Amino acid sequence: MTLSGISDLPLFKRRSQSAEEFESLLDLLPHPTLIADSRTGRVLLANTRAIQLTAYTRKEFAELELNTLLPDFPIEALNKKKSRNGAGETLVKRNSRSLQVAISIDPLSGSENWVAISLQPFSNLAEIEDREAQDKQRWEAMHILSLAMQQDELSSSYRQILQAGTLLTGAKHLLLYATSADGKLKLESVSGSGVEFPTELSEADLAHLRTPKIWKAGKPLDTALHKAAHAAKLNYLSSTPLDLTQPETGLLIAADEEATPPNDLLTMLQILAASAATAGLSAEVASRLSQQVVGLSQSAQLGTALQQNVQDGLVFADPKLKITGINPAAAMMLGYSEAEVAGRPVADVLISNQSLLPNLEKAARDGKFIELGELKLHRRDGVEFLASLRLAPITLDSKVEKVAILVNDLSEQEALHIRSQQLQQRAWLGEVTAIFAHEVRNPIYNISTGLQLMQISLPEQDPMQEQIKKLQEDCDRLEHRMKSVLSFSRSLDHDPEPMDIGEFCKLQIERWRPRMASKGIKDNIQVAAKTPQVYGDRRALDQVFTNLITNAIQAMEDQENGFLAVKIAPTPDEPGLVDIHISDNGPGVPEDLRKRVFDPFFTTKEEEGTGLGLAITRRIIMAHNGNIELESFPGGTLFKIQLPVARAISTEGTNA
């Protein structure tokens, strides 16, 4: 929702509105916003982002003059409804600190005297401009990559790919090595100058470069490339095979003598490498097609020759886009036999989340090679998989006789990578859990046994019985925590049941309220009417909320006016799910750490933390067929949890 569009909503056109309605509507805006009286210059309302920016409370805002916030701002600009969009002003915060903001003013149609004032810190604008410039540069690189696939000569494709690589990676030097006719890995294309790189790489060099990696100055010189980089005093040299499954087919290199490698360098290089591999494969396919077409007179013979020479899945279609045949690789990928697909429209077999028909028609009409890139296809059984598609029209006497559709299944490569990471993770966890079981479980058992003896030895009416009972419950809870950590390295064993998630969360907040009160943290929980029950294990979910609430308290314990909010409601567009949002107004999670918070052993608490809390939390939620996401910004953190409703889970189990 934009600032100008908010005044058109019915709420602003009614004569009787409540402050709560306005505040709720203002909170939908993505930037700090004030509502002011243009005659008096008095602030009437402010949204949450404006409160976070200025540090004033809602009550203070209601008694605030606009010139207190913006001392240099001319109030007459409000009276005359003058637009100051983009103007720079000095904003004075509650702590007397000032910062430069951009001001945008819009009159509200629901009142003759009210105006909406948007505040945007200049630092955020600079970040946005930098991000937009980077996005523009990357879009330009992607455009160049798309043009590279259309070049008639492979050398021209390689040059454009390296040109795009300069924009994507920022590296001054890019090199592409490819297998030559004699089977050796030779330098095929270079972007940049002034550095002498080897024109040929040995098998020993390739043995060290079979996986993506970054060499930095001061590291061992394992290959001729590294020695050349060292001699040229380069800061780094990064390499990746064109095809991870066949590293001997080529290498892509990026290097620079001044800059440091960006965080996503290897990802960018792999995108470029995939384009180079595609260009090479396209050239190979085109070369083989041209060689075979001369000696083939019938389309059936041509299709057979292609199937023998191309390892990818091949689907052949006539100019009307009816399937005439598929090779064994395509049959295995898609789950059809050749007899089942013969004569059927291509769109009925190659089912994707994107429309393939316009590109198929263009290839059949113009006779030009088309690179569709990566997209999702559906097998016959409905299972989705990632694939790379290319359209290669086959022409005879300048007339398109067939369209060959090359399908490269990328799911196995992706699955192997994920599986490798999972196995490595479980190996680490095996060591941790073994130590944990030995060091923690026995003391818990001894404490629990001692409590049982004390309970037996004391009279039933003794006041200590209640305290012993609570301590015993804590021991049971600790025992369950240990089992949860142990379960992270093996399959989870939960005992789910239908449960009222609203009442459950209220009990959680009630349990933690004394501790929050001691640290000056307030709380609020909202449960929407008619929120359905979820299907969950109470002890496992108790651990989830314990982890999240503990993290929130620790984040806010060194600040004033801490606030923890829990909001529970059915998912708007998913009737089978319930949303649980847990938010705090702590300092937030830095952007470079947000993607790692759920990783095992990742912690910002140094010696105090284990790094397993959020990893276990996510694992428990996933075991409940749910989902958890993190959103954070300076001044707040939000965990979004989704759990399936009890009816949906039980129905699924019954059908199974």
- Annotate 181-193 with b (16+ C-beta within 10 A) or e (fewer): eeeebebbbbbbe
Query: What's the pLDDT band for 16 if we cut at 50, 70, 90?
Result: very low
pLDDT at 607 over 50: no
> How many whole angstroms separate alpha carbon 414 and alpha carbon 386?
9
Q: State the pLDDT at residue 496.
A: 84
pTM of this structure:
0.33
pLDDT at 605 over 80: no
Kindly state the average pLDDT of the residues 357-382.
Answer: 87
Straight-line distance from the first to the last Cα atom of the chain, in angstroms, rounded to the nearest whole number: 43
pLDDT at 448 over 50: yes
Greatest mean pLDDT range, 5-14, 221-230, 289-298, 345-354: 221-230
Mean pLDDT score of the chain, rounded to an integer?
Answer: 81
Q: Between β-strands 399-409 and 521-527, what pairing exists: parallel, antiparallel or unpaired? A: unpaired
Mapped onto helix, strand or coil, the DSSP state of residue 522 is strand
Contact 255, 171 (CB under 8 A): yes
> How many whole angstroms separate alpha carbon 103 and alpha carbon 85?
6
Query: What's the pLDDT band for 481 if we cut at 50, 70, 90?
Result: low
Q: If you search the block for the tokens 């002011």, which residue do you land on?
A: 36
Of 497, 525, 504, 528, nearest to 650 (Cα)?
A: 497
More confident call, 481 vs 146: 146
Eight-class DSSP state of 440: I
> How many whole angstroms separate alpha carbon 366 and alpha carbon 559?
66
- Residue 455 carries which side chain, given as an amino acid letter? Q
pLDDT digits (tens, 9 = 90+) for 553-595: 988 888 888 999 999 999 988 888 999 999 999 888 888 888 8
Of 382, 375, 444, nearest to 407 (Cα)?
A: 375
pLDDT digits (tens, 9 = 90+) for 625-641: 899 999 988 889 999 99
- Cα distances (Å, whole numbers) of residue 211 to 120, 294, 533: 45, 40, 49
pLDDT digits (tens, 9 = 90+) for 106-115: 887 665 688 8
- For 532, counting Cβ atoms within 10 Å of its Cβ (0-12 exposed, 13-18 middle, 19+ buried), the class is middle
Query: What's the pLDDT band for 309 if we cut at 50, 70, 90?
Result: low
Q: If you search the block for the tokens 């059915």, which residue do you land on?
A: 570
Q: And the tokens for 301?
A: 């013979």
Of 42, 39, 44, nearest to 12 (Cα)?
A: 44
Q: And the tokens for 461?
A: 């009416």
| Range scoring the smallest mean pLDDT among 40-49, 105-114, 171-180, 244-253 | 105-114
- Residue 297 carries which side chain, given as an amino acid letter? S
Query: What's the pLDDT band for 613 if we cut at 50, 70, 90?
Result: confident
Q: Residues 150-154: contacts with CB within 8 Å, 24+ apart?
A: 150/368, 150/369, 151/279, 154/279, 154/280, 154/283
Q: State the pLDDT at residue 656.
A: 32
Neighbours of 449 (CB within 10 A): 11
Q: State the pLDDT at residue 253.
A: 93
- Cα distances (Å, whole numbers) of residue 295 to 2, 326, 358, 384: 64, 21, 32, 39
Q: Going by C-beta distance under 8 Å and a sequence separation of 6 or more, which residues neighbour residue 83?
A: 104, 105, 106
